[in-house]
Amino acid sequence: MTVTYAASSESTPQPRFRPTVIIHGGAGNIVRSRIPPELYERYRASLLKYLHSTVTLLNGEQEEGDGTKKKITPYSAIDAAVHAVSLLEDDELYNCGRGSVFTLTGTHEMEASVMVCSLLPETQGCEDVKRALIKRGAGVMMLKNVRHPVQLAREVLLRNDVEGHRGNGESMHSHLCGPYVESLAKEWGLESKPDEWFFTQKRWDEHMKGLGKGASIDHDTLPKPGEDISKYLSQGTVGCVCLDQWGNIAAATSTGGLTNKLPGRIGDTPTLGTGYWAEAWDVPSSSTRRALGLSCTGNGDSFVRVAAAHSAASLLKLGAKDSLADAITAIAGPGGELQRSAGPRWGVTGEGSGGIIGIEAEVPHDAEERQSEEPIKGKAVFDFNRGGMLRAWTEEDADGVLRERMMAFRDEYYS
């Protein structure tokens, strides 16, 4: 399903930034022996397809059924990120939306979030970003029948109550859960599906196999004591971070949670500062403004305990790290804060396992310095602390050409 939101053309300024996108499809104990070539190719094809679709919309084009493209108003970062995650939510390969795992009692409880920041808040380029910056971020949780939880998170983010009307579900709440927010989804025109829509045999088999073994990071149950943990494929939450043409960065994230989690368990995905973050700030020691967006995946309970997303952002903002890549590695890389948080249980219980994707960018304060023929560029970054992380992103090659890439491990799958 394609989200049809787009930036308002009435206030669209000239583009200043080169759109950048990064998507993840889960991280954990992913090893080659658990991903045969045919499965890897399915992941590769889907992630690159969704990446390309998102980049195309950010650039103000839309692909028709015959392969041609038509010009449209470029998507904002919010709408592009929601578009990408909506596609993932309809893909049974991933633990979100239709492919969500089951709780201990055989039900679904889905979660999602959206957050935004702007390098140039005075000229965001579209009305939705202007509204979104009031709350900054929003999470929804314990959803059972909303087809696209990430679209509901977007609506909660945009529907503020700054004027005190309290009509049509508007509020200043950042976290909403359960039946009432599902009723708001229907009121706001979002699509709902019956329980059968979210049933997949693969997830049900995982649920039945894992009963009595506790919650697992997601696709497969954890091994019994003494079993080789490398046999188990773990993937999880999906997410997307986008930088649009006007300097807005948005992070959208969605998950079905842990396989066989206790009903009512809330993870990092909808929780501000733990599974997602977006922030922009003026750098006191220079004449620049910096911004970042983050989306996390892995063992959500561990991400909550270390406030993973906000911790990574703070390392950069407070000057402890010089780049977002270094900040992410300090939290989610090998030997990082997440791994240390598991203590002696690392590699045994699934605690601490995961990864983070992000985008960083900066812009000079001086308006004249921003008037360049070359667009300002963002940088997509990532790291993870176990076997792999499914991700696809855009990056510039040595010739200045923007390439679309996909990887599952630290080296190429076919190396």
| Residues 37-78: tens digit of each pLDDT | 999 999 999 999 999 999 999 999 988 878 788 999 999 999
Annotated binding site for substrate: 265-268, 297-300
Cα 167 to its chain centre, rounded Å, is 30
Q: Is the pTM of this model over 0.85?
A: yes
Residue 237 bears catalytic tag: yes
Encode pLDDT of 15-40 as tens digits.
689 999 999 999 987 888 878 999 99
Among 237, 255, 274, 349, the active-site one is 237
Pick the closest to residue 279 from 315, 332, 321 (CA basis).
315
Domain limits, the chain: 18-407
Bridge partners, 71 (sequence order) = 61
Q: What average pLDDT does range 211-229 have in this prediction?
A: 51
Task: Tell me the chain's radius of gyration from C-alpha atoms.
Answer: 20
Task: Take residue 99 and report the two structure tokens written for it.
Answer: 């492919």
**For residues 383-396, average pLDDT:** 95
Look at the block and give the residue holding tokens 């993973």.
308
**pLDDT above 50: residue 219:** no
What would the pLDDT profile of 239-276 be if each residue is shown by its tens digit? 999 999 999 999 999 999 999 999 999 999 999 999 99
Query: Would you state the structure tokens that stand for residue 407, as one six-digit string?
Result: 């990887």
Q: What is the pLDDT of residue 220?
A: 38
Distance of alpha carbon 406 from alpha carbon 391, whole angstroms: 6
